[in-house]
């Protein structure tokens, strides 16, 4: 089957978070199952130096947005055997960041930037460059595509049928704009009832995608439920999602076990040979030396690798820092909200021997933190899926999480279920609950025999794509009638 993944990110070349990981790892596993999966994404400035002249120009066209014409070239390229279509438009994409000049801000013209991504995917089809059976659209950046496909099927009923699947990774971002911007979409108003386009008087691309996609998925079963029933998670679109009923399913993401592999991770000072205790101790000692932390390897090390946003519950983390630093070292890697960055820098400055903070996006350091830490903190307010708890488990770092969304689907609290527990999970989003769980984890750590039980369980947990990819393939098959 031909599947065109359309997204703003793909690992390893353009990643701001889990979206990039998910798009790439799912594509990889689908290709290994024999499907022709290709990914279309913008040619960001950061990708350009990696091309090394190996890209091929395959299509040129012009677009006119807001009375200005822009030249667009689509280039084909490959990464780890996956064909990519890179949308080259210097005006929109030759910039510092993926979404904005810093992790804390978005570009003013993001609507046009991602509408151009959708129009480019349609051009591939119109110009007969490559015809997918399925367009798998991710998040609001690609959510216009289902509506464009619907329009195409209305205008050209005899053209080959292309089905659409929209995966929602985060309902909080919807591609909203004043209604005047509707003209940018290229949709014909006569085909689209106003109530399908508008949300509180504004254009909303995610809403359009939810209504016009053939099928929908959320990135975990619990997040699916939460988007239907909970106001924060549904972000106002609960009823629109409910109206899609059986077409909407929740599929837990997987992680790429080849990439996130403690046995051969090139970013680690020490890889896993066979002994977990030795793997953890050597990586932890290396981090203690690198960051000049106090206490030696007996002192627990708690890691955090996160976007610094409201979603991630970073404000709750601040409140627990004094408690954490009494008994443990804390290493935080993350960028985003400037106020959070400043506060964390301040705390790390005041407690230099027990806390380290790096306000950066640093892939190698992230790997070292997963490997060196004993516990991994994820106090997210909401979490559609979350990949860091899966990665942490793979590297023997025991997650302490707020039990919501995908975190609830992956982490079983050890205190509640000692036979299956693989971490520590709190239900109420407040500092007392978080501190309780941190305390429980630290106490547990003191008894190294018990801790080793958790380590072994972490080692066994399998969040590879094996199961979930099959569920995506089933949806593709249902859509195309391939079953
Ligand atoms: P989200 O997509 O909401 O940010 P996920 O848990 O799904 O959260 O995925 C986060 C991904 O981004 C993981 O691969 C994690 O290791 C990575 N990541 C997050 N922040 C950083 C950072 N500052 N430096 C390096 N990697 C990071
Ligand atoms: C979003 C969500 C995160 C999820 C990721 C990949 O960034 O915030 O929970 O893991 O997408 O689906």
Reported as a single tens digit per residue, the pLDDT across 391-427 is 999 999 999 999 999 999 999 999 999 999 999 999 9
Q: What's the 406 CA to ligand 2 centre distance in angstroms?
A: 9
Helix (H, G, I), strand (E, B) or coil at 399: strand
Q: Which of 104, 223, 306, 358 for mutating ligand 1's site (highest number of atoms within 8 Å of CB)?
A: 306
- Find the ligand nearest to 23 CA: 2
Count of CB atoms within 10 A of residue 176's CB? Answer: 16
CA of 384, closest atom in ligand 2: 9
* Alpha-carbon span 1 to 475, nearest angstrom: 12
Q: Region 277-286: what's the mean pLDDT?
A: 97
Give the pLDDT of residue 272.
97
* Alpha-carbon span 439 to 462, nearest angstrom: 27
Query: Whose CA is closest to 206, among 239, 242, 233, 166?
Result: 166
Q: What's the 379 CA to ligand 1 centre distance in angstroms?
A: 14
Give the pLDDT of residue 378.
98
| Residue minimizing CA distance to atom 7 of ligand 1 | 18
Domains contained in the chain, CATH given: 2-254+466-480 (3.40.50.2000), 276-462 (3.40.50.2000)
Q: Region 289-298: what's the mean pLDDT?
A: 96
Q: Region 465-469: what's the mean pLDDT?
A: 93
* Alpha-carbon span 324 to 355, nearest angstrom: 10
| Residue minimizing CA distance to atom 10 of ligand 2 | 386
98 phi/psi in degrees, rounded to 5: -80, -50
Q: Region 91-109: what's the mean pLDDT?
A: 95
Q: Region 82-106: what's the mean pLDDT?
A: 96
CA of 366, closest atom in ligand 1: 25
* Alpha-carbon span 436 to 441, nearest angstrom: 9
Q: What's the 152 CA to ligand 2 centre distance in angstroms?
A: 30
- Is residue 140 within 8 A of residue 28, CB to CB? The reply is no
* Alpha-carbon span 294 to 280, nearest angstrom: 17
Give the β-pairing of 301-305 and 248-250: unpaired
Q: For residues 331, 336, 341 and 342, what is the CA-based torsion angle, rounded to 10 degrees?
A: 180
Residue 283 Rama label (left phi>0; alpha psi -120 to 50; beta): alpha
Is the Cβ atom of 384 under 6 angstroms away from ligand 2?
Answer: yes
Q: Region 98-105: what's the mean pLDDT?
A: 92
CA of 387, closest atom in ligand 1: 6
pLDDT tens track for 43-59? 999 999 999 999 999 99
Q: What's the 385 CA to ligand 2 centre distance in angstroms?
A: 5
* Alpha-carbon span 111 to 116, nearest angstrom: 9
Confidence (pTM): 0.97
The confidence band for 103, taking pLDDT boundaries of 50, 70 and 90, is confident
Residue 483 has pLDDT above 80, yes or no: no
Q: Region 180-201: what's the mean pLDDT?
A: 96
Helices (H), 156-234: 194-197, 205-212, 221-229, 231-234
Give the pLDDT of residue 231.
86
């Amino acid at each position: 089957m031909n599947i065109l993944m359309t997204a703003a990110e793909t690992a390893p070349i353009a990643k701001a978070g889990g979206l990039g990981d998910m798009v790439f790892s799912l594509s990889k596993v689908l290709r290994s199952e024999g499907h022709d999966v290709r990914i279309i994404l913008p040619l960001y400035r950061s990708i350009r130096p990696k091309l090394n002249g190996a890209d091929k120009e395959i299509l040129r066209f012009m677009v006119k947005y807001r009375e200005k014409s822009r030249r667009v070239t689509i280039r084909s390229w490959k990464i780890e055997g996956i064909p990519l279509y890179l949308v080259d438009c210097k005006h929109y994409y030759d910039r510092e960041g993926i979404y904005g000049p810093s992790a804390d801000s978005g570009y003013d013209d993001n609507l046009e930037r991602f509408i151009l991504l959708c129009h480019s995917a349609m051009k591939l089809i119109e110009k007969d460059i490559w015809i997918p059976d399925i367009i798998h659209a991710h998040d609001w950046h690609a959510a216009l595509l289902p509506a464009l496909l619907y329009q195409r099927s209305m205008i050209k009923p005899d053209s080959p049928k292309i089905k659409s699947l929209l995966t929602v990774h985060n309902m909080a971002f919807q591609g909203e704009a004043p209604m005047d911007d509707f003209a940018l979409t290229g949709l014909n108003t006569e085909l689209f009832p106003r109530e399908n386009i508008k949300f509180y008087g504004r254009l909303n691309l995610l809403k359009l995608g939810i209504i016009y996609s053939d099928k929908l998925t959320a990135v975990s079963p619990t997040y699916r439920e939460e988007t239907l029933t909970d106001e924060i998670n549904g972000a106002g679109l609960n009823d629109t999602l409910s109206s899609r009923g059986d077409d909407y399913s929740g599929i837990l993401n997987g992680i790429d076990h080849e990439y996130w592999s403690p046995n051969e991770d090139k970013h680690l000072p020490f890889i896993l040979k066979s002994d977990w205790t030795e793997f953890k101790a050597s990586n932890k000692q290396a981090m203690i030396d690198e960051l000049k932390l106090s206490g030696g390897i007996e002192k627990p090390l708690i890691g955090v690798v996160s976007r610094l946003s409201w979603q991630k519950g970073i404000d709750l983390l601040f409140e627990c820092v004094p408690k954490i630093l009494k008994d443990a070292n804390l290493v935080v890697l993350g960028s985003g909200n400037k106020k959070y960055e400043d506060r964390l820098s301040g705390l790390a400055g005041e407690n230099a021997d027990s806390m380290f903070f790096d306000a950066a996006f640093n892939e190698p350091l992230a790997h070292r933190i997963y490997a060196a830490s004993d516990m991994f903190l994820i106090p997210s307010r909401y979490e559609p899926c979350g990949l860091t708890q899966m990665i942490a488990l793979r590297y023997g770092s025991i997650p302490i999480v707020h039990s919501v969304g995908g975190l609830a689907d992956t982490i079983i609290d050890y205190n509640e279920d000692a036979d299956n527990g693989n971490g520590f999970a709190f239900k109420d989003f407040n500092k007392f609950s978080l501190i309780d769980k941190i305390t429980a984890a630290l106490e547990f750590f003191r008894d190294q025999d018990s801790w080793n039980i958790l380590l072994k369980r972490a080692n066994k947990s399998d969040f590879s794509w094996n199961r979930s990819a099959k569920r995506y393939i089933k949806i593709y098959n249902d859509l195309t009638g391939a079953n």
